[in-house]
Amino acid sequence: MITNVGILGTGKAIPDYILTNAELEERMDTTDEWITSRTGIKERRIAPPDVAASDLGAIAAKQALDKAGASPEEIDLIIVATITGDMPFPSTACIIQDKIGAINASAFDLSAGCSGFVYGLDVGQNMVRGGYQRVLVIGVDLLSRVTDYEDRSTCVLFGDGAGAAVLGPVAEGYGIISTDIGADGSGAKFLQLPVGGSRNPITPSILANREHYLRMSGNEVFKFAVRVMEDSTERVLEKARIPSKDIAWFIPHQANVRIIRSAAVKLKIPDENLYINVDRYGNTSAASIPIALDEIVEEKGISDGDNILVVGFGAGLTWGSAIIRWGGVMK
Ligand code: COA
């Protein structure tokens, strides 16, 4: 018998400090008008220097565990989707395991850029199908740590945050109904942090030339995003045999409001079923979808049986989408 796997609880962690477009205007040659019209972003959150990915991830994880009514000891596996972990190794998942006391969990990080949380959902659901009872999936990124605040074409886009979900078996007819994850590595060059790994270890000259920051070809990523959001969501709807009019909440990766709206128009998703918070947080990478999901749970309300469609795209280049039928939690 195939186990149905659903989301039992969600959580999030958002830093307090708000970096507004007005502050960016003062710091560099940009305008609120340019940022708003090109991206829809008004402000983003930036973590203080002593806060790392594991700190935000652990807060989000504890909230998700609380809401799922699960104890840390019950967690079998922790998957942390991140590209800005605390350090290259050990994994941020291991650091979070210790922070939250999930002593029985195995733990690893997953690198799929902004698609990471959806990748994590897909891997996590299969681990539950394989016999695990509780899998914690965390999406966390502090892109402010790898962003060049002298490069106006990238620094206006990104923010910091974390979101989490606890996965476990749910009643028949509920849970993750279909997923679609994929990658096109030929686009790796369009969004990357090219130094700091085994190809280009950090050297004094890299630092002096300010090469230790993320690089992005905005137009290439934009075109990719519009295409894969449409293709992947069509596939995942088809697999689930659900028409888009039956989607209660469409949660696209929050990168750019123009990309979000183009996907919503193609899918014929009306405004009241579309969730947007990119104006408040910018692009928080792997955290964007779980933060949005937790906000909807907390502030908008999701009813049992609601179909949620999530879709992400990001470095790799990667994409991932999933349809989750909410509820079915077994007492
Ligand atoms: N303020 C003012 N002007 C800016 C600016 C800023 N912050 N950043 C770039 N510009 C300028 C550019 O220098 C360029 O000037 P030029 O025409 O004189 O050369 C002009 O604005 C237009 O730049 P362009 O790159 O064509 O703008 P765009 O409409 O494509 O928007 C992005 C740029 C980055 C907002 C858009 O390409 C995008 O969102 N791409 C996807 C990025 C993304 O989602 N990345 C994360 C993936 S997970």
Return the DSSP state at 283.
B
What are the Cα distances from residue 19, in Å, to 25, 98, 241, 288?
11, 31, 42, 17
The predicted model gives 221-230 an average pLDDT of: 96
Asked if 169 contacts 128 with a C-beta cutoff of 8 angstroms, the reply is yes
Asked if 63 contacts 164 with a C-beta cutoff of 8 angstroms, the reply is yes
State the pLDDT at residue 236: 97
State the pLDDT at residue 2: 75
Q: Is 114 a catalytic residue?
A: yes
The predicted model gives 301-306 an average pLDDT of: 94
Say how many Å lie between the CA of residue 238 and the centre of ligand 1: 34
The tokens 């962003």 sit on which residue? Answer: 147
- Tell me the backbone φ, ψ of residue 175, rounded to 5 degrees: 95, -160
Sign of CA dihedral 150, 153, 159, 164: negative
State the pLDDT at residue 3: 86
Q: How many CB atoms lie within 10 A of CB 177?
A: 21
The predicted model gives 158-179 an average pLDDT of: 97
Q: How confident is the model at residue 175 (pLDDT cuts 50, 70, 90)?
A: very high
State the pLDDT at residue 172: 94
State the pLDDT at residue 328: 94
155 lines ligand 1 (CB under 6 A): no
**What residue owns the CA closest to ligand 1's atom 48?**
314
Q: Is 94 a catalytic residue?
A: no
pLDDT digits (tens, 9 = 90+) for 257-273: 999 999 999 999 999 99
pLDDT digits (tens, 9 = 90+) for 181-193: 999 999 999 999 9
Give the three-state DSSP class for 303.
Answer: coil
**What is the percent of the chain with per-residue pLDDT over 90, rounded to a whole number?**
98
pLDDT digits (tens, 9 = 90+) for 115-126: 999 999 999 999
Ligand 1 atom closest to Cα of residue 253 = 48
Q: Which two tokens stand for residue 132?
A: 């695990």
Q: How confident is the model at residue 55 (pLDDT cuts 50, 70, 90)?
A: very high
CA dist 48 and 7 (Å) reads: 30
**What residue owns the CA closest to ligand 1's atom 2?**
30
The tokens 């960016």 sit on which residue? Answer: 24
39 lines ligand 1 (CB under 6 A): yes
The tokens 């409001």 sit on which residue? Answer: 257
The tokens 């935000």 sit on which residue? Answer: 56
Is the whole model's pTM more than 0.85, yes or no? yes
Q: Is 212 a catalytic residue?
A: no
Smallest Cα–Cα separation from 9: which of 75, 55, 56?
A: 75
State the pLDDT at residue 248: 97
**What residue owns the CA closest to ligand 1's atom 8?**
153
Q: How confident is the model at residue 331 (pLDDT cuts 50, 70, 90)?
A: confident
Q: Which two tokens stand for residue 251?
A: 């949660």
Which residue is catalytic, options 4, 21, 94, 114? 114
CA atoms within 13 A on the CB side of 247: 32
CA dist 186 and 189 (Å) reads: 7
Largest CA distance in the chain: 60
Q: Answer whether residue 330 shows pLDDT above 90.
A: no
**Across-strand partners of 308?**
249, 324
Say how many Å lie between the CA of residue 162 and the centre of ligand 1: 25
Ranking 103-107, 208-212, 293-297 by mean pLDDT, the lowest is 208-212
State the pLDDT at residue 210: 92
**∠9-14-19 over CA atoms, to 5°?**
155
213 lines ligand 1 (CB under 6 A): no
Ligand 1 atom closest to Cα of residue 314 = 48
